[in-house]
Structure 1
Amino acid sequence: MEKMLCMIVFGALAIASLAQDASAQTVHVVGDNMGWVIPSNGAAAYTNWTDRKTFRVGDTLVFNFMTNQHDVLQVQKSSFDGCNSQNAVGSPILTGPANITLNSTGDHYYICTFGRHCLNGQKLAITVSSSTSTPGANPPTSSAAGPSGSVPGGTDAGPSGSVPGGTAPPPPPSSSTTVLASFMLSLSAIALAAFL
């Protein structure tokens, strides 16, 4: 009986922990309905999109684009500003949609390396905060058009933690999942107290 009670308490604690971790993660569809395209109003479209968002470690960026028409590449700030892939972080993701899990804090920069797409505004800059920090992370500032330069297709590296292709991950659990986990934890604590 004591062993069963310990298993119940451990199970409830595990469920509560998973529900709390999952509820802190957010799926961000880059550009919302616009997707990952050359925006009609240049880089301001993605800058305006980030103004309404808070990005945290563990969140997922979903870049919706047509395969063979766009790609996504994480780069350093100098390459973001110059629209080139010289300082890439990983390899370009060529198959859309691309799901990228944010696994570190700080400034993150993404570009499309097809033709002049980046120069025409297909670039994204975000600031990622820790998963336990308070809201209010602002994206880094960037020029709307970006300086002139070429965008080689290249085979430079791309975003770490990325999963090319596939579909967007499911949305985070609702608050009812967290409430259920809290209820299970409370129920286990009551059961433990009753048997002690």
Structure 2
Amino acid sequence: MLNMNFNIPIFMAILVATMAFQYCLANEHVVGDSDGWSNPRYPEFYAEWASLHTFNVGDTLYFNFIEETHDVAYVPQEAYDQCHTEGANIVIKSGPGAVNLTRSGAHHYISTHEGDCDTHQKVAIYVHPSSI
């Protein structure tokens, strides 16, 4: 029979170190980089931006925009595809603001201000499970 002496302080230290390590691995993504969250220069701008990044649970998206010029709504894919803004779940009403990525899978964000989504101010990303 194994004699296991469970040392709670050591266990807690390992647990805290693991959590801190995971936090350090989290990335902060500024949507659109220096262009921020605005009417894009060309229709594929945000799709191209998203393709250059890897998103994981624990990461944060920063949406930089001037207060009340845009917003950020989390929507299902159909609303994203059709720029359907009615009843959208607005997660940032006044910029700039941040969204913490807490679950894996597809995420779709649009601006619900009149005409924004139609000019392709929308971004779709895929969030991978945490690497730890």
TM value normalised by structure 1: 0.59
Q: Does 1:102 align with 2:109?
A: no
Closer, same or farther in 2 for the Cα pair 1:107/1:87, shift >3 Å?
farther
TM value normalised by structure 2: 0.85
Aligned twin of 1:45: 45
2 CA distance for matches of 1:87 and 1:105? 23
Contact 1:72 1:111 in 2 (8 A): yes
Q: Deviations over 1:141-162 (max 9, x none)?
A: xxxxxxxxxxxxxxxxxxxxxx
Aligned twin of 1:79: 79
Aligned twin of 1:29: 30
**Structure 2, gaps ≥5 residues long:** 1-6
**For the pair shown, which has the larger CA radius of gyration, 1 or 2?**
1
Closer, same or farther in 2 for the Cα pair 1:87/1:129, shift >3 Å?
farther
- Return the letter of the residue paired with 1:67: E
Could you tell me how far 1:83 is from its partner in structure 2?
0.7
2 CA distance for matches of 1:87 and 1:130? 28
How many matched pairs?
126
SS of 1:119 mapped into structure 2: helix
Contact 1:25 1:58 in 2 (8 A): yes
Aligned twin of 1:115: 114
2 CA distance for matches of 1:76 and 1:39? 21
CA RMSD of aligned residues (A): 1.9
Q: Identity rate of aligned residues, in percent? A: 37
Aligned twin of 1:62: 62
**Structure 1, gaps ≥5 residues long:** 134-196
Could you tell me how far 1:92 is from its partner in structure 2?
4.4
Could you tell me how far 1:14 is from its partner in structure 2?
4.0
Moved over 4 A (4+): none
Q: Deviations over 1:34-71 (max 9, x none)?
A: 100001112x1111111111111111100001111110
Q: How does 1:136-175 map to 2 (within 5 A)?
A: none
Contact 2:106 2:125 in 1 (8 A): yes
Could you tell me how far 1:12 is from its partner in structure 2?
3.4
